[in-house]
Amino acid sequence: MTTNTATLDALRVTMIEKVQKMGWAKRPEVERVLRDTSRHEFVPEAPLEKAYDPYNAVITHRFSDGSSLSCASAPFVVAMMLDQLQVSPGSRVLEIGAGTGYNASLLAELTGPTGRLTTIDIDPDVTAQASHALHAAGYDDVRVVTGDGAAGVPENAPYDRLIATVSPWDIPNAWWDQLAPGARVVAPLRWRGQARSVAFTYTDGRLVADSIELCGFVYLVGEGEGETSAPITNDQTITVHWDRDQAVNPDALRGVFDQPRVTAWSGVTIAGDEPHDGVWLRLTVTDRRVCRINAPGGTPPEVCDPVEACRAPALVDGDSMAYLASRRRETDDGARWELGAYGHGPAATKLTERLCNEVRAWSVERDQRKPNLTVYRAGTPDTDLSGTIIDKTNSRFVLNYDIIGCLPSDELIGEAVKRKHEVGIVAEDASIENPSNDQEL
């Protein structure tokens, strides 16, 4: 491809400026490799503007059913995860998910000539494409392996850094076995229906997180079933996703949307561009019933109207459910969106109140405080753990807050009331409304 150098330089500069405005490429070495590496060479089918669009993920390979199997992650996500990984020159790095080879090229630049980089993917077409692109760009020292990423690459272990660019539900045993003491691991892990890019340090036989960021990735193939999903409407369109250790019975939820809607509003408002995913993250610590509801675009709002159509936190209790919702409010500062809950079924009132209480508790400090996450190997006794335990196949996730964050919800809600003007809570008290009085977004 013949391209004007000045045009490419301008596109890369603009990409990096936007990525940094989002808070990523904070590490100078990450900014450097993003600036010096040609992303368009790894996604030749994409127009230049799309190749350097900081928010754009380019799908490069699909399953036979049309769902994506491989893609080049959006540059801001690439920068975020490389910031989290903290690669040093000379590092031994394993990448799970070869993709286009672009991320491997960045990792190769970060590790330098004294480092050792291995990337693995289960699909031979993906590894062939990545190998070709890496060779064409001059990265012949990158080891590209076709195989099950859950098994790692033991012959090149131990690794100082492990990064997954596909989303695992668990930490496979092979990854544990292939880490060097003090290694850093970055993986877009899934629990309770959400996905988070989590950065860990491997110390004393456990993985201790120091960074948890919202993300979304293609799932790790070959891992086995950990997350379960099922439709709960007769037309099969609205689905619930939950972990296998949760007591969710989709048959009990069939017809739940035929029950009258109960509505509760929290009094907490957010700006249109303000994140609210911290509510979901908090719920994974405070309520074992939290899972995910998907209502595709085009679902009539009077049937199901979650805060985000394809991914919203929900509480399920037997034949009842409540999910996070929002409505537009006009304030002195302009339009804002109030967070609340819609519920259906016999326990709807309690579930919607519970969701609103958690929203209020979250609003005290919004996303300034996130829970601690430590991952232990399966078999670690309960007596060695403190917090909310989520059992996976090969590991045990333990989530908790520090002493301040561990305040009971009632105390946090009281604090939120005292600080309502600081955190943007509207003047009205939260209320349970009759379904006929629902306000549309």
| Mean pLDDT of all residues in 361-368 | 85
Please determine, for residue 386, whether its predicted confidence score (pLDDT) is greater than 80: yes
- Other Cβ atoms within 10 Å of 40 Cβ, number: 20
Inter-residue contact 309 to 242 (CB < 8 Å) = no
The rounded distance, in Å, linking the Cα atoms of 126 and 150 is: 16
Beta strands (DSSP E) in 21-147 are: 58-62, 68-72, 92-96, 116-121, 143-146
pLDDT at 193: 94
Chain centroid to CA 61: how far?
A: 21
Tokens 């300034």 belong to: 368
pLDDT at 217: 79
Average pLDDT value for the chain: 88
Please determine, for residue 439, whether its predicted confidence score (pLDDT) is greater than 60: no
pLDDT at 359: 97
pLDDT at 57: 87
Q: Which residues pair with 337 in a beta bridge?
A: 270, 328
Rounded to 5 degrees, what angle do the CA atoms 279, 282, 287 make?
Answer: 110
**pLDDT above 70 coverage of the chain, percent:** 87
Q: How would residue 331 be classed by pLDDT, with cut points 50, 70 and 90?
A: confident
pLDDT at 74: 93
Please determine, for residue 404, whether its predicted confidence score (pLDDT) is greater than 50: no
Could you read off the pLDDT of 202-260 as tens digits, one per residue? 999 999 999 999 998 788 776 667 899 999 999 999 999 999 999 999 999 999 999 99
**Catalytic residue (choose from 70, 167, 211, 363):** 70
> Closest by alpha carbon to 286, among 367, 357, 378?
357
pLDDT at 94: 98
| Mean pLDDT of all residues in 117-134 | 96
More confident residue, 337 or 440: 337
Q: How would residue 6 be classed by pLDDT, with cut points 50, 70 and 90?
A: confident
Could you read off the pLDDT of 260-290 as tens digits, one per residue? 999 999 999 999 989 999 999 999 999 999 9
Q: Which residues pair with 282 in a beta bridge?
A: none
Q: How would residue 402 be classed by pLDDT, with cut points 50, 70 and 90?
A: confident
Inter-residue contact 260 to 435 (CB < 8 Å) = yes
Q: Identify the three-state secondary structure at position 162.
A: strand
68 as an active site residue: the answer is no
Dihedral sign for Cα atoms in the order 366, 372, 375, 376: negative
Task: Give the highest mean pLDDT range of 46-60, 127-141, 411-425, 426-440.
Answer: 127-141
The rounded distance, in Å, linking the Cα atoms of 300 and 202 is: 47
Tokens 């998907």 belong to: 294
The rounded distance, in Å, linking the Cα atoms of 25 and 163 is: 17
Q: How would residue 67 be classed by pLDDT, with cut points 50, 70 and 90?
A: very low
pLDDT at 438: 31
Q: Which tokens belong to 325?
A: 């919702």
Could you read off the pLDDT of 70-93 as tens digits, one per residue? 678 999 999 999 999 999 999 999
Could you read off the pLDDT of 12-56 as tens digits, one per residue? 999 999 999 999 999 999 999 999 999 999 999 899 999 999 998
pLDDT at 58: 81
pLDDT at 421: 36
pLDDT at 224: 61
Could you read off the pLDDT of 128-169 as tens digits, one per residue? 999 999 999 999 999 999 999 999 999 999 999 999 999 999
Beta-sheet strand order (sheet of 206-214): 143-146, 116-121, 92-96, 159-164, 179-191, 194-203, 206-214, 372-377, 395-400, 388-391
Residue 432: burial class (beta carbons within 10 Å; 0-12, 13-18, 19+): middle
Q: Which tokens belong to 33?
A: 């490799």
Domains observed in the chain: 5-214 (3.40.50.150), 227-369+404-437 (no CATH)
Name the DSSP class of 439.
P
pLDDT at 363: 95
